[in-house]
Amino acid sequence: MGPALLWAERGTAPLDVLADFPAIPDGWAYLDTAATAQKPQVVIDAIARGYAETYATVHRGVYQRSADMTLAYEAARARIARFLGAASADEIVYVRGATEAINLVANSWGRTLKPGDRILLSQLEHHANIVPWQLLADRTGAVIDVAPLTADGHIDLDAVEAMLTPQHKLVALAHVSNVLGSVLNARRAADLAHAVGAKILIDGCQSVARVAVDVQALDCDFYVFSGHKLYGPTGIGVLWARADILGEMPPWQGGGAMIDTVSFSGTTYAPPPGRFEAGTPHIVGALGLHAAIDYVDAIGLDAIHAHETALVTAARDRLSTLNSITLFGPGDAAGIVSFDVRGVHPHDVGTILDEERVAIRAGHHCCQPLMAHLGVSATARASFGVYNGLADVDALVRGLERVTRIFG
């Protein structure tokens, strides 16, 4: 398939936004967006302004700059709500990232679990969507079940349907696999969970920057993501949950901002989302995330998804011609290609590619159960963003050809 057809068949054109990203020098192929996305200048500018021109605390000061910063901070919350299709900004809880969001749910909502209750995960989950539930199961006596994958690396929802019982109280699944790029039919997963009375949490770390998300249309109960994978800053992330669920959840962390009144005879707590935001927040991080969402929305997630899917198609087509390479995951993966070079450890692959100015991820990607399922200890992973193009695919292939020459 010719390069032009890769995008034309999807009704769009290649993105040309590399100039927006000052940390990507000429000739450097950054293919590690699944780990963390590079930042466009508008996000960097928003962060710089927040610290250099408008900085003040929020929710506390009576002076004008504090009031202005509070308005900007809460405007970011409202922007996130619109981006996710939430019913209200009060359903948006600021956290440090998806890992903290999942731990918050496990330590707050999870207190309702009791011995014999069940949690359903899948074989492709990130450790951050496994370990918090294991800790919860250890505390409560709940039991964890693991759904299998289809042959092409999707979560097997037919198997999920057969496994679910009224004892299941939670289903927690990745919207897009950070290793395979496979996309979950999240609405069907939610319908299956709700059919047995379970709640469903969707890990959206790899999806929010790649596919349009509407939490009400998906009918999920919790949705989490990290800002730095959405072209925003590190240290800021989001837990979205239905208002009625948040209203019943107790605080997880104590401190300032999450209280109503405090006395030694007892403390009352703020309503959500403040109840879950103890301490001084990452104020400027919220401003940077707001700018990142504006940037992504201006391009359009449909265009981003088409662009990254075309790059995945090109990469898989090229890599499949190298008979020393095994590809993992489906052909329609969202922005991610994982592979193995026969006889070469992924770390060696990554090192040689780095010499060729190609940056990939090599390792187990915080998915050791998935690695065991794939029969490998690690994989090499190339992941695309809005700033990548066919030249980066060419650089990846040239680098891998050098790997195979070196290792014979």
Q: Phi first, then psi: what are they for 260, rounded to 5°?
A: -100, -65
Sign of the CA dihedral with 101 first, then 116, 134, and 151 last: negative
Which residues contact residue 384 at a Cβ distance below 8 angstroms, ignoring those fewer than 6 apart? 31, 33, 307, 308, 311, 312, 315, 335, 336, 392
Phi-psi domain of 361 (left: phi exceeds 0; alpha: psi -120 through 50; beta: other): beta
Are 163 and 173 contacting, i.e. CB atoms less than 8 angstroms apart?
no
For residues 62 and 110, what is the distance between their CA atoms, to the nearest angstrom? 37
Which whole-number Å values give the CA distances from 57 to 13, 70, 92, in the listed order?
Answer: 43, 8, 20
**H or E element that contains 51:** helix 41-52
Other beta carbons within 10 Å of 35: 17
The residue annotated as part of the active site, out of 205, 220, 366, 367, is: 366
- Would you state the structure tokens that stand for residue 159, as one six-digit string? 């198997």
Three-class SS state of 284: helix
Are 171 and 192 contacting, i.e. CB atoms less than 8 angstroms apart?
yes
- Would you state the structure tokens that stand for residue 34, as one six-digit string? 């699944």
- Would you state the structure tokens that stand for residue 109, as one six-digit string? 């909502």
The answer to whether residue 366 is catalytic is: yes
**Catalytic residue numbers?**
366
